[in-house]
Amino acid sequence: MRFMFACGGTAGHINPAIAVAGRLRELMPDCEILFVGCVRQMETVLVPKSGYDIKTVRVCNISREKTLGGLAHNIKALYFAIKSTIQARRIIKKFKPDIVIGTGGYVCYPVLRSASRLGIPRTPPAVHESNAVPGLTTKMLSKIVDKIMLGFAESKRYYKHSEKCVVTGTPVRGEFAAYSKSKAKAELGIPADKPLVVSVWGSLGAANMNAAMCKFIKLAGKNPGFRLIHSAGSEGYAEMVTALQETVPDYEKNGMDVREYIYDMPRVMAAADLVLCRAGASTVSELTYMHKPTIFVPSPYVTNNHQFKNAKVVEDAGGALIFEEESLDAGALLNEVKRILSSKDELEKMSQAMAKLARPEATDMITEQVLSLCQGIEK
């Protein structure tokens, strides 16, 4: 059988597709798999690195600004929508997939729309939405797909065709199940009884959060009562280290580990007692999967403020707290970290809430949905 995945833009859209493709390959070693993504985007790196072929089309996001600039941008987006649809049709006709699965990103629309119009596959396409509130692309596709797979149960209320919806969760990379907390802490050289706080804001880093964490580290002082591993990102690392050397020259002796990037993320996350981070869909899935109490600072720069909405679902369930970046105070953040870490009951309560949100079976559920749609297709 031939499976085509359309995804792009963020890890939250790409990783679920890679996880399901991997499970399909385990079950059907002879199956053919092709990804379709957008030119010069993250998927063109992550997909080949995972061992899959990828074809690209060019798409453009839609501006919500009611200005001349916004209008000009949307005219450009329309041009690329038409062009990408033509490109998608060519790719689909050549590959001849049995089913097309979209897992998020603007690239999904031209690919799944083309698949539906071409009658390829012989069953309608399917889409997975990892965010708590569906994006514009998923809403537009909901009319033509046969199945809408959801990362959050709360998402179902946003769809008119709720009979198409099934809550699957969002797949998490298998590496996140490889470590116990005790093993991870031992490998990192952290005493089992010493709390670890992990602070991470993306591979490039976030200037505002690095500045806030500089103040956080300074205020924590010589005996903070916990260890910290902070990922400053490739664009902010040098500046942050320089700032810390000027203001807190002994920060490393105080148990503050500032890194450019956390290359051993599954191990570090396993060792964590409390995580400070953004609220992208993949991140939320990983944290619930590992039952990690969290303080979210959602990115205010993403479309439709979806990170805040993801975080709110977790906060309402009792597994996390939300600090908004615009009003973030490093002292208040430090006080909250200390309060949570000082209470084993609070940590356990938050961990249990995260566990209730987790869907470790997500990869298997999505794979089953895809294969059920393929039933009856002639080999």
pLDDT in tens, 310-357: 999 999 999 999 999 999 999 999 999 999 999 999 999 999 999 999
Query: 157-161, 185-189, 319-323: which range is least confident on average?
Result: 157-161
Q: Which two tokens stand for residue 142?
A: 């909901």
In contact, 31 and 3? CB cutoff 8 Å: yes
Decide: pTM greater than 0.75: yes
Q: CA angle, 125 as apex, 8 and 372 as ends, to 5°?
A: 115
Q: Which of 351, 329, 356, 330 is nearest to 340 (CA)?
A: 351
In contact, 213 and 239? CB cutoff 8 Å: no
What average pLDDT does the segment 123-140 reach?
A: 87
Residues 6+ apart with CB under 8 A from 335: none
Cα separation, 102 vs 110, in Å, equals: 10
- In angstroms, how far apart are the furthest CA atoms of the chain? 68
In contact, 43 and 55? CB cutoff 8 Å: no
Could you tell me what percentage of the chain is helix, strand and coil, using 3-state DSSP and rounding each to the nearest 5? 50, 15, 35
Name the pLDDT band for 204 (thresholds 50, 70, 90): low
Going from the C-alpha of 74 to that of each of 57, 137, 173, 212, 214, the distances in angstroms are: 18, 15, 36, 36, 40
Fill in the amino acid letter for 340. Answer: I
